[in-house]
Structures are given as structure tokens and as C-alpha cells.
Amino acid sequence: MGEEKKSISIQEAFNPKVIKKGMFYFFAITIIAFAGIFFYTNTGKTLEVWSNLDWKYFVICAVIVFMDMLLGGWRNHIFVREFAPGTSQWIAFKANLANIFMGAVTPSQTGGGVAQLYIFYKNGVKLSDGITLSFINWISTLIFFPISGGLAYLVIKDRIPEGFISYLAQFGFSIFTTLFIVVIIGLFFPAAIGWVVIKISSFIALFNKNWKLKLEAFGRKAKESLIDYRDKCTTLLRHKPQLLLYSLIITVLLYFNKYILAYFIVLAFGAEADFTVIISIQAIVYLLLYFSPSPGGSGIAEISIAGLMAGILSNDYLASFTLMQRSFLVMIPAMSGAYVVLKQLAKSAVEK
């Protein structure tokens, strides 16, 4: 019954109206951001920049994008094959693409994990197992981002202009570090989460009794869920301790592969490239974007990329670089994911 209720709520999240609305906002904000960057940095040499594009690096970028999608699917598959032996890597690959698409059309990527669960569920993987694998991979991400972002900030802190972008980088680092601490407390001391919620609800009860009841119910549910996921994760990792290490290694490869794309885009335009600085800038950009409130980080992504790259690229290249990077890392995978999601929704509609 629990699995049935979860499957219903997951399918409700795939409301075509919500998807269309998310796509509209994603493209609208992205277009406005690109227009702003283009007009602000336009030197009249955009056509010249593109005419000098070195296509061999363009091909390398295409290979990097394919590796990005492959590594994302592989990171899921190392767990899926433990929960549902015989599940093909193709299913994990499609689930990752669905994650990218729904992450691009929902605020703070909230729909990405749901899309992944939906594809796995429709292909025979239990929702509880899908949540467990997502949770472990999320822990790997929470470990990786503060480390990579912190090291990157040390490398380029003198190159980041004081102001908005610098504060955003520090904010992103703080969010990840705080979340990691909260997750660790939740896993090892789940009762503490319930205690904190109960204390908060007692304070709120002074002003609103209805909210007290809701918060207490949430605290109990959070505690039960954390204990359940902790037991599942520890049982799995006790028998297969290498899986967390594999997840961490693939996470490092996955994001380094994303970071290195920027280096080859710079080379494709024939501009000078400092490898360490470019990789560090990309680490900061992803630190900013992971919890970005706009769909797919639209607007914030374009401005952050252009703002941070302005220190090493001239205005001639900024708009073109930003367009190519967002196209390779978001738009191409998201369009592939849209095909996966819409095909699955159509199939589910026929089944109904």
C-alpha cells in the first residue's frame, strides 16, 4: 500500500501543465539572461568569434557530454543492480536523463529525483530502493561539493570580483556544509531531528496550534523515514562497503568531466586557457547552481558563468562561451531527457 501511494504521488508530479510551465520559465529566463549578457558584452565580433571555431574541440565537447550522461547513469546502476539484479544499464541511463530534464524545468531541481524514481519504478525497481540509491548518491554529492568548491575558492579568490558573485560562492559553500552536517546528524541521531521539530512546534504553538500539530506529525514522520533509510543504507553498505567508495569516485569523475568541458570550449574559440583556473571557476559555478531557485538554474547560471569567466576571457567571447556551455551541459541532455519522460508518460497513459 505504501508503494502504491508513493507511485500515485510521483505520477501526479508529472502533470503535463507543470512540465510545460517549467519549460516556458526555463527558456524565457534563459533567453532574457543571454540577451542581457550579449548586449552588455557585445563588441561586434560575435560572428568573427564563431567563424574561427576549431571544430575538433567541438567534437571533443560532444564526447564529454555523452560521457556526462553515461557517468550519471552508471552512478545509479551500481546500486540498481544490487536491488534489482538484471536491470540493464540502459534503464539507469534513461533515469538519469529524466532526472536532468525535470531538474531543468523545476525550481532547485526538485523534480529531478522524482523523475528518476518514476523511470526506475516503471521498470521494476521498488520506490524504497530507488530512494535509497538516490540518498547514497546525494551523500556523495554533499561530500564532494564543499571540498571541490572550497579548494576552487582558494585557487581563484583573488580573481573573483568582490560583490555579488563572491557572496554567492560563500553562500553555496555554507549551504552544502550545513546540509552535510544535518544529514550526518539525521542518519546517526534520527531522534535528534524529531526532538528539534518538537521544540520548534512547542514554540509555534504559542501563536498557532494548527501548525503545532502539523509540525509534530512532520517530526514523527521525518524520524521514522530517517531511521528507515539509515537501516537500508547501513544494511546495504555493511554487505557492500565498496559501493559508497564507487559512488564517490564516479561523482568526482562525473563533475570533473563537466568542469573540463569549459576548458575545451575555450580552446575551441582559440582563446588562451589556464586549466586550473577554468576548472576552479566551474567548481564555484556548480556550487552556486545546485540549489538555485530558478528552473535549471536559468538566469543565475548564465550570469554566474559570464561573471566568473570575465576575469579570464575578453568580452568578445563571454556570450558565445556561456551559450555553448549551457547548450552542451543542460539543453542537449535535457532534450534527451524530455524524450524519455514524455515517452514514458504516453506509455503510462495507454496502460491506464
pLDDT digits (tens, 9 = 90+) for 270-307: 887 789 989 988 988 888 777 777 887 888 888 888 88
- CB atoms inside a 10 Å sphere around CB 349: 9
Q: Under a CB-based contact definition with an 8 Å cutoff, are residues 120 and 91 in contact? A: yes
Q: Under a CB-based contact definition with an 8 Å cutoff, are residues 15 and 288 in contact? A: no
Alpha-carbon distance of 141 to 159, in angstroms, equals: 26
Question: Where are the domains positioned within the chain?
Answer: 2-351
* Predicted pLDDT of residue 1: 44
pLDDT tens, residue by residue, 316-346: 888 889 899 999 999 999 999 988 888 887 7
Output helix, strand, coil percentages for the chain, rounded to the nearest 5: 85, 0, 15
**Residue 295, strand partner residues:** 107
Alpha-carbon distance of 332 to 324, in angstroms, equals: 11
Alpha-carbon distance of 116 to 132, in angstroms, equals: 12
Alpha-carbon distance of 114 to 291, in angstroms, equals: 16
Packing angle of the helix pair 275-289, 242-268 (nearest 10 deg): 120
* Predicted pLDDT of residue 20: 83
**Residue 274, strand partner residues:** none
* Predicted pLDDT of residue 12: 56
* Predicted pLDDT of residue 328: 92
Q: Under a CB-based contact definition with an 8 Å cutoff, are residues 165 and 308 in contact? A: yes
* Predicted pLDDT of residue 169: 65
* 66 has a pLDDT exceeding 90: yes
Contacts of 11 (CB under 8 A, 6+ apart): 118, 348
* 263 has a pLDDT exceeding 90: yes
The amino acid at residue 144 is F
Return the HEC string of 234-282: HHHHHHCCHHHHHHHHHHHHHHHHHHHHHHHHHHHCCCCCCHHHHHHHH
Contacts of 154 (CB under 8 A, 6+ apart): none
Cell numbers that stand for 27 in this block:
527558456
pTM: predicted TM-score of the whole model, two decimal places: 0.81
Q: Coil, helix or strand for 15?
A: coil
The DSSP output letter for 106 is S
* 17 has a pLDDT exceeding 80: no
The DSSP output letter for 107 is B
